[in-house]
Structure 1
Amino acid sequence: MINKKSTILICGAGSIGIRHAKNLINLGYKNIVFFTNRKKLKIGSYKPKTFLKIQDAFRNYNFKIALITNETNKHIDTAIYCASKGCHLFIEKPLCDKKDKVKKLINIITKKKLINMVGYMMRFHPAIKKIKSMILKKSFGDIYHFYCEWGEFLPNWHPNENYKKSYAAQKIKGGGSTLTLSHDIDLMQFFFGKIKQSLIIKNKIGLKIQTETSTNIMLEFKKNISGFVHLDYLQKNEERFLKISGTKMIIKFFYLKNILKIYRNKKMKIIKYDKFHRNLLFLSEIRYFINNCKKLHICSPNINQAYKNLLDSKLI
């Protein structure tokens, strides 16, 4: 039985692993263990136990939940080990950078009936929920086009670190603009369903790193819905924008300003999410995952869904 006394394993102590730990602590789950190469770790006043070898962690603790937050290229092997020990799994996005062993992981979680989830936290944004609701209610009429753009300057992510050594800049670790910034591709699948066709153009310009720095993706869904996703590591003035056009309504979502504009019948309505802050996305998704583990309810997106989405969109 999972409760606030349960010990939770976090595999990877980078920025996202630390963020999840802080949120778990705030939710009352204070028995956290890390599998990491960092020998000493402190989160506020909390000093979690750390292990250099995952086998040692499992020899010392009985985990029911594991969060996989290490480098993308290590996700599947780490998840397979934790699943084989009977852990419900939360895997940070993207699920993987290669097809290798994913089916083995899916077989294990299916056989053991493990709850699992992939961390595309943008699905928990109130504006995204609003847009999804309007799509389900067919408020747009016939949707004929979408466009979304996400551009950031990679060297600004962690200014005190060498960005060229970050996982996001290294091909061997599963980095690159396509997978690292794949949230918006997940959102288009969340909105419109199964992808029919995908065309991806990757460019390696502007930064001297191993991976692509810019990605352009054309996607076609059922019911003649098609559009364009642009992702890049190059924009010094960060941009994040979504537009969906239908015969009855058009929306524009400005993520950085937390503003959703709805155009209908020659009128514009503005919804401001003034009380929203970014960590609420991560807090909401981890609360959702933990609650589903307690109730043994299926999560979305789960590993099987995320894997199919990566294949359909030709990201791997």
Structure 2
Amino acid sequence: MKRVLIIGMGSIGQKHYQTFQSLGADVRYVSRHRQEAGISFSQVHNALSQFDPDICLIANDTSQHLDTLKELLSHPKPLRILVEKPLFHHPAQLSVQAQKVVYVGYNLRFLPLLQRLKEEVANRTVLSADIYCGSYLPNWRAGMDYRKTASASSHRGGGVLRDLSHDLDYTQWLLGKITPHSMLSGTFSNLDLDVEDTALILARAKNCPALTIRLNYTDHLSQRYLHIICDDTTLHADLLANTLTIGDTKENFEGSIQDTYLKQAKAILSPTPSPHLSTFEEALKLLHLIAQLEKMPHV
């Protein structure tokens, strides 16, 4: 039985905890706020020495990811590590030893819909693409004041560029490296935030000469889709409806975004590397893209 340690027990940490438990793993957690005798620790070093995990998941605030990962990398035992997205608050130089395997939680790669879309675009010439992800932040977590979440706080790693970086990740996964041209971003709503609630990115990708990416916390309708125009057809992937339209044909897919956490957990537990897991190197490159975007003039 694999021993799994979850570091941080916010909403995403609890999701990982339940997921790995459902797979039969022995799961413990580190939390400063939630303590249950026998299964929890208040400090990472105590958990490492007393529980001796095989797998560690970093699910605390983004601003704490770097220090937590450094502590895990200094542990003498080989570990498999999953860092919840985004990798860090800001890009950082970090050497990952050979005996440690680090992945980052871009679990949407496990959607059968996106995997099929990846196969489709690989065999076509893409002319342009529009990536959209928008929903209303106060509706994200039932019963929780959005103003108290990491999403709303710059020092905790919030803002749409980091919080919605899934969409940046799968865009690069599908279309190749993104080269940004310009960005319009800011806090345009009346939400009580100190981070950007909207980002409109104009760019190109390695395999797409014209690319727009639109991210926001403000859409009351909740939409998440990719509209990709190719030289021979148009592809439209609706991640909420779980459908892929190719020309005049619409295909429905099984499985939800929630199911991707289970598939990601199975991949982490498996001794065979999955091509759908985001590597440390890929996630670090994505973080450099975010840093590049933040330095651009916000037109």
Q: TM-score, normalised by structure 2?
A: 0.91
Are 1:174 and 2:157 matched, yes or no? yes
Which residue of 48, 60, 66 corresponds with 1:58? Answer: 48
Distance in 2 of aligned mates of 1:198 and 1:186: 18
CA contact (8 A) 2:3 2:53 kept: yes
Which residue of 219, 222, 225 corresponds with 2:209? Answer: 225
Distance in 2 of aligned mates of 1:124 and 1:91: 16
Are 1:116 and 2:102 matched, yes or no? yes
| C-alpha deviation, 1:195, in angstroms | 2.4
Task: Tell me the alpha carbon deviations over residues 104-127 of structure 1, each in whole angstroms, 9 at most, x when there is no partner.
Answer: 2xx1x2x33322111111111111
Task: Tell me the residue number matched to 1:23.
Answer: 19
* Structure 1: gaps spanning 5 or more residues: 42-46
* Residue identity in the other structure for 1:217: I
| C-alpha deviation, 1:297, in angstroms | 7.2
CA contact (8 A) 1:34 1:48 kept: no
Task: Tell me the residue number matched to 2:84.
Answer: 92
Task: Tell me the residue number matched to 2:170.
Answer: 187
Counterpart of 1:256 in 2: which secondary structure?
A: coil
Relative to 1, partners in 2 of residues 1:123 and 1:296: Cα closer, same or farther, differing over 3 Å? Answer: closer
Distance in 2 of aligned mates of 1:51 and 1:124: 31
CA contact (8 A) 1:219 1:227 kept: yes
CA contact (8 A) 1:115 1:297 kept: no
CA contact (8 A) 2:267 2:273 kept: no
* Residue identity in the other structure for 1:56: N
Relative to 1, partners in 2 of residues 1:131 and 1:224: Cα closer, same or farther, differing over 3 Å? Answer: closer
Relative to 1, partners in 2 of residues 1:299 and 1:200: Cα closer, same or farther, differing over 3 Å? Answer: same
Worse-superposed segment, 250-259 or 122-131: 250-259
Distance in 1 of aligned mates of 2:273 and 2:143: 41
| C-alpha deviation, 1:48, in angstroms | 6.2
Counterpart of 2:180 in 1: which secondary structure?
A: strand
CA contact (8 A) 2:106 2:277 kept: no
Worse-superposed segment, 9-18 or 275-284: 275-284
Distance in 1 of aligned mates of 2:275 and 2:239: 28
* Structure 2: gaps spanning 5 or more residues: 295-299
Worse-superposed segment, 56-65 or 149-158: 56-65
| C-alpha deviation, 1:223, in angstroms | 4.8
Relative to 1, partners in 2 of residues 1:237 and 1:80: Cα closer, same or farther, differing over 3 Å? Answer: same
Distance in 1 of aligned mates of 2:130 and 2:200: 11
Are 1:290 and 2:274 matched, yes or no? no
Runs of 4+ in 1 over 3 A off after TM superposition: 295-300
Task: Tell me the residue number matched to 1:38.
Answer: 33
Task: Tell me the residue number matched to 1:44.
Answer: none
Which residue of 165, 183, 189 corresponds with 2:148? Answer: 165
CA contact (8 A) 1:39 1:51 kept: no
Distance in 2 of aligned mates of 1:189 and 1:247: 20
Task: Tell me the alpha carbon deviations over residues 225-264 of structure 1, each in whole angstroms, 9 at most, x when there is no partner.
Answer: 221111111111111121011101211111221111111x
Are 1:152 and 2:135 matched, yes or no? yes
Distance in 2 of aligned mates of 1:51 and 1:198: 46
CA contact (8 A) 1:9 1:67 kept: yes
Q: CA RMSD in A?
A: 1.9
